[in-house]
Amino acid sequence: MRASRVLPWIVTILGALYFLLPLVATLEFSLRMVRGTYSLEAYRIVFADARFRQSFSFSVVCALSTIVIGVLLIVPTAYWVRLRLPRLRPLVEFVTLLPLVIPPIVLVFGYLRLYNSSSLMPFTATLTGTNILLVLGYVTLSLPYMYRAVDTGLAAIDIRTLTEAAESLGASRRTVLARIILPNVRPAILSGAFLTFAIVIGEFVLASLLNRPAFGPYLQNVGANRAYEPAALAMIAFAITWACMGLLQLFGGRRAGAVAAPRRISNPFRRKAAP
């Protein structure tokens, strides 16, 4: 009995040390830029760098744009497939998993061949077009994570019953999707959104080959030319990741699949009495 109780604690402690020791070592190294003392000089230099602010803000805008497009694309698709086209689920799941099989470098070279300045849709001829192409590439990379999260959230609720009940009260399909389905899969959407945010912030291949000032190429450039600043950037990126997880716990308070109360479902669609 004692061995069965002690062994899990040993495994937990060893796992914690495996993950925490490199993090502590990186933090300690990032504080040693000033010889003989601990300081935040590396962090000050990073935050004072105009390229850091430019690249990070650019990646944040790209991430938010990717999340919005991904939600508008995935939620109606997953909802319609589960409601009306269940036989197409294997095909849709296969298509959304392709970005995990196709390397990003192959994907971006395909984009460059299809959408260069001499093609019918010359996205790369302008900076705006290149930014749009980059965001669309991010949407493609986020498909496996966003679709799986939304599909899992939809599986936890009875969308057919909710849809029929709302339509019997006079709701249109668009209203059902916006007022019934979206609130009930909100935690699942947030989960996919924060995974997408983390992917976009750290992505390197697409932004580098499209020559855009994103955060991933900036991390690589700093890591190749400096010593202490890369450690500080690693800690900043780690803090951003944990902040995303904290926001997920904060805004996704209601568990996925929690169905709204009947009062909230029926009220928006109750018809007014004739005068």
H or E element in which residue 262 lies:
helix 262-266
What band does 239 get if pLDDT is binned at 50, 70 and 90?
confident
Comparing C-alpha atoms, which of 15, 71, 29, 11 is closest to residue 194?
71
φ/ψ of 30, rounded to 5, equals -65, -20
| Ordered structural domains, the chain, with CATH | 65-253 (1.10.3720.10)
H or E element in which residue 210 lies:
none
- The tokens describing 30, both together, are 């990032």
pTM of the model: 0.81
Q: Which of 51-55, 103-107, 116-120 has the lowest mean pLDDT?
A: 116-120
User: Is the pLDDT score of 152 beyond 70?
Assistant: yes
Comparing C-alpha atoms, which of 180, 150, 151, 153 is closest to residue 164?
180
What band does 225 get if pLDDT is binned at 50, 70 and 90?
confident
CA distances from 6 to 10, 14, 15, 18, 19 (A): 6, 12, 14, 18, 20
SS3 content of the chain, % helix, strand, coil (to 5): 80, 0, 20
Average pLDDT, the chain: 85
State pLDDT tens for residues 67-101: 999 999 999 999 999 988 889 999 999 999 999 99
